[in-house]
Structure 1
């Protein structure tokens, strides 16, 4: 019989009274092509969604390198050229392995900025008809971005990370983590995988969503 995995609850750092928390799942050694990591599982209490942390080193040191990465089946798994997600994920793992310290929080349930895989494919079909990513989400009745980051902050809290350097081009992600009580001491530009197939997608990120692509670092 397979033994049950013991879990514990971790409150969100923003408000331990009523904010969402995560339950802690198993953690295992994970050798990868990028280097040696620990792979730790977490279950979001509010949704039941299972998230992952890919990490190494003592994450309690100031200014630890962090990437909060939204799940992207098409980019991460099959190498889609419609986005830059896969290259961003692999670049983050390479950077952490080079420093020997850091964590990627892999947020499942964030597919298509939170609309899910099936509606993400519907959005792609609308984009093929001329819409951009923003208008396609809205046409399907979704918010432009439905993602939430309480669970990511709670996972970082459990892992001991309090002061982070965030690998991201999205200023709203930085603000969301700060709102959860994390000290984001720097934004690390994280551009990767630009080519003709995703040029319009990246342009929409920059021009309509405010992503800091091609911009200097600014806190």
Structure 2
């Protein structure tokens, strides 16, 4: 049994019957044509269904809106990347030399995608039940991390603006840098005529979320500052 097989069995609780999909799930496009993107597409759906079912069972009294907040917080690329690091995915990634030199093995975008691709490989090799079981084990600490449904920073900022009779927040990409496989985005979030914040991320969505979070912290103290001026 290969080192990869041992790692798969130890990590996902399944002894692989065929390593081809697993190898593909760990292969970036910079390494060859047989890369993870199709498996990522499949794994994203496996994760979504498994997570939705799990939340439905675990929080039977919560309405759809609260379940959606939990769902959106748990399936982000950043969370998938965190779990990929925790289980040791970077050591098994197959990258082209340039991508590796550029730090692709620690890219949230790539690790998040590979995590989903691995779930796709598990589903194809073992079926839905083992995939569901692996997701529940790997995401368990995060599912139960808080009693209240988390609110996405962009939604929270939108609600704050509406509650305070402000115009809706707007987002603008200020800069995009880095190689194609490991981009960096700088995004500005603003509530017109009130305040703005900028933040970086490995994707436009990640940068927007970080900018919204920073702006939310700022605007919650702006009214108090203004009232003292009066």
Please state which band the TM-score falls in when normalised by the shorter chain.
under 0.3
Q: Whose RCO is larger (CA < 8 A, sep 6+)?
A: 1
- Name the structure with the higher strand share: 1
- Name the structure with the higher helix share: 2
**Scaled by the length of structure 1, what TM-score is found?**
0.25
**Scaled by the length of structure 2, what TM-score is found?**
0.24
